[in-house]
Amino acid sequence: MKFRYTLEVLTIIAIVVFSVIFLYTSSTMSGTKFTGTDTAGSQGIAELSGTPLENFQPLIPQWKPPGTEIESCLFALQAAIGGIIVGVVFGFWIGSGKKA
Amino acid sequence: MHIMEGFLPLQWCIIWWIVALPCILLGMYQLKKVLAADREALPLLGVTGGFIFILSSLKLPSVTGSSSHPTGTGLSIISFGPWITCVVCAIVLLFQALFLAHGGLSVLGANIVSMGIVGPIVGYAVYRLLRDTPVNIYLTVFLVTAFADMFTYITTSLELALAYPAETGGVASSFILFLGIFAVTQIPLAIIEGFVLALVFKYIVALKPDILIRLNIFSKEKINAARNEAS
């Protein structure tokens, strides 16, 4: 009998393996903050240029989300926009497949 | 991969905008042509673009003690090529610059070049290399996605290295420093993204194989072989 879900299983294994490695790494790095690469990159620029981070000012004025909760909410909104489009199209394809 | 607003000198902002703009215009022209030729490509464009919206919104922790975004460009690269992918990436990056303070308007050109141009061109090269070989289509999607993702971050590192060469070692030394920050963190995320988009492609093959054949994304034989494997 042919196994149909090889790709699904491989995807789950990859996610589980990297999650375990992540949990192990984060547990061995107690006290360090899990910064994003964008922030780490900005710190690298500050080090290389010898200019403190706060001296880098936007060339074009920029609106910033007033808090991390709002930022997370807006990221979720972005994902939701994509999710709605994907859901509608997959639904349309499944529906038109059944109709046919 | 976002270069933050104010972190790139003005001359580099202008240079990257000059590189990005013709690619966006070419992408818009191609998009118009594709949709005029086959309106049924629109839902596929929605799905592939939707995944760029979803995956690039996720900030995932990596194994290096840092977190980063996947790009989600693999499906769009395979289905519509690098230039149309560039247009979708420009929309996503504009959203993030305006509403999330991730990136910014002055550095948008640089961010489009890394995520919307170089990453997709490398991914598309991988796709063209493997498309007419016996390599399994899901492995092709995996490799295209992972390479596009990795090269997005390698390009960001290069953009920053060019703008901020180290006092000792110059651009090469800076490039290695930024690769350590961006690219190493990205390796596990690129692998997971490759698996996820290969899986999504499996469902597209199952649900709408005719559009993939009509747009000549893969040959009829390859699509049918993939469908038989999955059923």
Q: Is the dihedral of CA B205, B211, B212, B214 positive or negative?
A: positive
d(C-alpha B105, C-alpha B98), whole Å: 8
**Residues on chain A touching B13 (C-beta within 8 angstroms):** 59
Which helix (H) or strand (E) covers residue B197, if one does?
helix B170-207
Query: Where on the phi/psi map is residue B67: left (φ > 0), alpha (ψ -120 to 50), or beta?
Result: beta
d(C-alpha B181, C-alpha B37), whole Å: 43
Q: pLDDT for A36-65, tens place per residue?
A: 788 888 888 988 888 888 888 899 998 888
Nearest alpha carbon to residue B195 among B82, B61, B47, B72: B72
Average pLDDT, chain B: 93
Contact partners, residue B171, CB within 8 Å, separation at least 6: B161, B162, B165
| A97: nearest CB among B97, B138, B207 | B207
d(C-alpha B179, C-alpha A41), whole Å: 10
**Contact state of B207 with A10 under an 8 Å Cβ cutoff:** no
DSSP 3-state of B231: coil
**Contact state of A59 with B7 under an 8 Å Cβ cutoff:** no
pLDDT surpassing 90 at residue A26: no
The Cα of B229 is separated from the nearest Cα of chain A by a number of Å equal to 7
Model confidence, pTM:
0.93
pLDDT surpassing 70 at residue B231: no
